[in-house]
Structure 1
Amino acid sequence: MNEPRRVIQDLAEKHLPDESHFLVEVKMEDKAGKTRVLILVDADQGVTIEACARLSRAISEELESQDILGEAYILEVSSPGLDYPLSSSRQYQKNVGRELKVFQNSGTETIGKLLSVEPNEIKLLVKKKEKGKKAIEEEMIVPFGEIKKSIVQVSFK
């Protein structure tokens, strides 16, 4: 990880509102001669706009007082959003009980209800359909090492 990104990550973690909030990712890119810094933060009970705004102000003040990025930068603090892949055990834990679409390294895609999260794996409840028969549900264990990405499925039921 490059030095400015590590410093910004440390600043973000330092200024999180409380223990229920956690850092998901810090992205940096050059955009039209300015450095764009995107900080994605999540929380066990969801992130508020106010929490993002407070975090943005605190980080911005430190970036400027310490002159970490030089002159021009764009700072964005946001929650990852529903379509953003889950990246940590804590995010999986937050979504227990919800439907996930899991893309495995093997190319397999599985949709199932997230039942539990263990240190090295997740457990899904998957519906198996056979022609002419009623769908049955079975539990499926997927090790984290086999997961390429997981996305929460939006339900409008």
Structure 2
Amino acid sequence: MEFRKNIETLLNEFLETRKDLFLIDLKFSAGDDITVILDGDNGVTLQDCLDASRAVEFNMDREEHDFSLQVMSAGLSEPLSTPRQFNKNIGREIEVMLEDSSTIEGELSKVDEEKITLILRYRKPKDIGKGKVDVEEEKEIPYSEIKKALVVIKF
């Protein structure tokens, strides 16, 4: 248990020196294979991953405890999980799967500590007469209702 605590402490010390980076996930396997997933306000470079890896590896004794370490950035396929991650994606289209298994897609417009706000754009039939009208509305979604949120990749 102390090994894991040391890894967490070293990682946190590194992140204190790099306020633009933040931890998304830290996983330990039974064989002490460690996976660190980082994200950053301005993205994550290869050098950022190397720096984080060195901050941990250079301060641990492999003679005392053998482990493997993999540091990576959160990819586009990784779900958004923290307010800071949502915040860096303001203005992008995201797809949100809710706890009730329904799905909403819209432009992420606002983020705070309790909820996100999406701008939904769609067409609906006119109240009177034939045809359709363009509609734009805001929908607030509390984090507690979000099962999974992904950035929509458009080409």
Assess same fold via TM > 0.5.
Answer: yes
Equivalent runs, 1:78-157 vs 2, <5 Å? 78-130=72-124, 132-156=131-155
Amino acid at match of 1:42: D
Equivalent runs, 1:66-81 vs 2, <5 Å? 67=64, 70-71=65-66, 73-81=67-75
Q: CA RMSD, aligned part only?
A: 1.9
Inter-partner Cα distance in structure 2 for 1:117 and 1:85: 16
Amino acid at match of 2:38: V
SS at match of 2:60: helix
2:51 paired with 1:54: yes
Which runs of no fewer than 5 residues in structure 2 stay unpaired? 126-130
Which runs of no fewer than 5 residues in structure 1 stay unpaired? none
Q: Shift of the alpha carbon at 1:4?
A: 3.9
Displaced runs of 4 or more, over 6 A: none
Amino acid at match of 2:85: Q
Inter-partner Cα distance in structure 1 for 2:62 and 2:21: 25
Go from structure 1 to structure 2 and tell me whether the alpha carbon gap of 1:105 and 1:56 turns closer, same or farther (over 3 Å shift). Answer: same
Partner of 1:12: 11
Q: Shift of the alpha carbon at 1:9?
A: 2.3
Inter-partner Cα distance in structure 2 for 1:84 and 1:44: 16
Q: From 40, 43, 53, give the equivalent of 1:43.
A: 40
Q: Shift of the alpha carbon at 1:103?
A: 0.7
Inter-partner Cα distance in structure 2 for 1:66 and 1:114: 48
Aligned residues: percent identity? 34
Query: C-alpha offsets along residues 79-112 of structure 1, whole Å, 9 cap, x if unaligned?
Result: 1101101111111111111111101101111111
Inter-partner Cα distance in structure 1 for 2:81 and 2:4: 18
Inter-partner Cα distance in structure 2 for 1:56 and 1:144: 31
Partner of 2:128: none
